[in-house]
A and B are shown apart, each in its own frame.
Chain A
């Protein structure tokens, strides 16, 4: 079993290296860091590389956020997009941008709005017997629509440079070295905390009573994990808009390969999520090249059918 997960990790790292290389080199023009021309060099270092790195970090953040939410809420249909966490984060970011606030303030407000969204959906769906899965998903969808509508209203009434398309379907077109740095720091903090708490998260999966009897400080661990999930998805949304379903597909795919143990699942979801997003971004800018598709369209085309399949399987229709 341990050998198997070691192999899986090696393959995931190799896959990420391959897609990072492909994503950096391939595009409207094929470039290489060793090109003699100034233009190629500029495209590679200033545009292509930040974009690919941001895509990888955001893919990892959304996937880990999804894996954490699925564990804390004990609901495999959870994902920052479906629960309205992404829409909350986007609304927070768009409102603060329309007031011309600096980037750190945009990220902080985005985080607070995402956290408020997750707490709201969680408290709606909680009953004495735990979280009711159908209510969780329905409350998430309703909140997501409401926040999405508010988001469009905010964008249309402000002179923001980012468009409705950017916020609702996501894009890495605005990637810059500064974004990469902020995303990397947030991802490092958020993913480290998630990994640190992954053993406790495993026990939480057994249910509240068993977790308490095994010495887990349930309230504290649950709150910390909801914080981390909100932080990771809010940071993603603030920099590249809403990209749906990544947090749903990736942890499920990983679970099929290495099981549900979060100690292995969380880092592996981060690795596969990074590869998945770099690939989705590569497709988004090459499929109808030289024009560009919003990356959220690619992930929705893969993720929405997957969600329906999962829903049918879960409800045993």
Chain B
């Protein structure tokens, strides 16, 4: 059977010169991969290319052997979900309404949708908050709502863009624990900056600099002093 995700020599950009170059990686279900690198190294561009927001200028992304650029937005959303940075949420929506948006790509009918939403709310301990306005809950709770929405989306791959950026240490650890607990059933790829959390929770690290992958492998190797020194220009 072919790999869940196979990226070959991917190049992508915003119309001008490519921002990411020759990115190649393979990943399987059950992995938690941290995407790291300095600001401007192309991590977000890489996520955008995976989400289909940016078109690849060359190279390919294959999911279970199928080219992702040949798949329409709805089908893609059945396979890849996205958890953005916690920003100011849109007031006037309830927690349940936001989680239910995860069912948008599916045409499985209201009964199955409701069951998926309820089980996601339950797994993230949000059932008691389901009627709360999302602008009135804490950042940590909102982060859980976004994870619950991705869970309701029922995808094999979950992408995250700095999910812990605006959270205090308590919620950072809590978020990483939740993601760690989902690992067995998903492939999780996320942008992270916190080396300590990555060392504790991630299986592998993709280290990027200037749009290229400069180290890819297990946590010990990619987060060695030598690599960090090279990437961040800091002496450890």
- A-side residues, CB < 8 A to B, are 1, 199-200, 202-203, 205-210, 212-217, 255, 259-261
Question: What are 8 A-to-B residue pairs whose CB atoms are below 8 Å?
Answer: A199-B104, A202-B97, A209-B82, A209-B84, A214-B101, A215-B73, A216-B73, A261-B93
Q: Are B104 and A217 in contact (CB under 8 A)?
A: no
Cβ-neighbour of A1 out of B75, B84, B94 (below 8 A): B94
Name A218's closest neighbour in chain B (CB-CB): B73
Q: Are B52 and A212 in contact (CB under 8 A)?
A: yes
Name A259's closest neighbour in chain B (CB-CB): B92
Q: How would residues 52 to 83 of chain B score, 1 for a CB under 8 Å from any chain A CB and 0 otherwise?
A: 11000000000000000000011111101110
- Bound: A260/B91 CA distance, A: 7
- Bound: A213/B52 CA distance, A: 8
Q: Are A214 and B102 in contact (CB under 8 A)?
A: yes
Does B131 touch A at the CB level, under 8 Å? yes
- Bound: A98/B92 CA distance, A: 45
Does B90 touch A at the CB level, under 8 Å? yes
A1 surroundings in chain B (CB, below 8 A): 94, 131
Given known pairs A1-B94, A261-B93, the reply for A216 and B104 (CB within 8 Å) is: yes
Given known pairs A202-B97, A203-B104, A209-B51, the reply for A214 and B153 (CB within 8 Å) is: yes
Query: Which 8 pairs, one residue from A and one from B, show the smallest C-beta to C-beta distance?
Result: A260-B92, A215-B77, A215-B105, A213-B82, A215-B74, A259-B92, A214-B104, A205-B90
Given known pairs A215-B77, A217-B73, the reply for A210 and B92 (CB within 8 Å) is: no
Name A219's closest neighbour in chain B (CB-CB): B73
- Bound: A207/B48 CA distance, A: 14
Q: How would residues 87 to 122 of chain B score, 1 for a CB under 8 Å from any chain A CB and 0 otherwise?
A: 000111110010001101100000000000000000
Cβ-neighbour of B51 out of A202, A212, A217 (below 8 A): A212
Q: Are B92 and A215 in contact (CB under 8 A)?
A: no
A214 surroundings in chain B (CB, below 8 A): 77, 101-102, 104-105, 153
Name B98's closest neighbour in chain A (CB-CB): A206
A207 surroundings in chain B (CB, below 8 A): 84
Q: Are A203 and B101 in contact (CB under 8 A)?
A: yes
- Given A209-B51, A213-B77, A261-B93, 8 extra CB contacts under 8 A: A1-B94, A199-B104, A200-B104, A209-B84, A213-B81, A215-B74, A216-B73, A261-B92
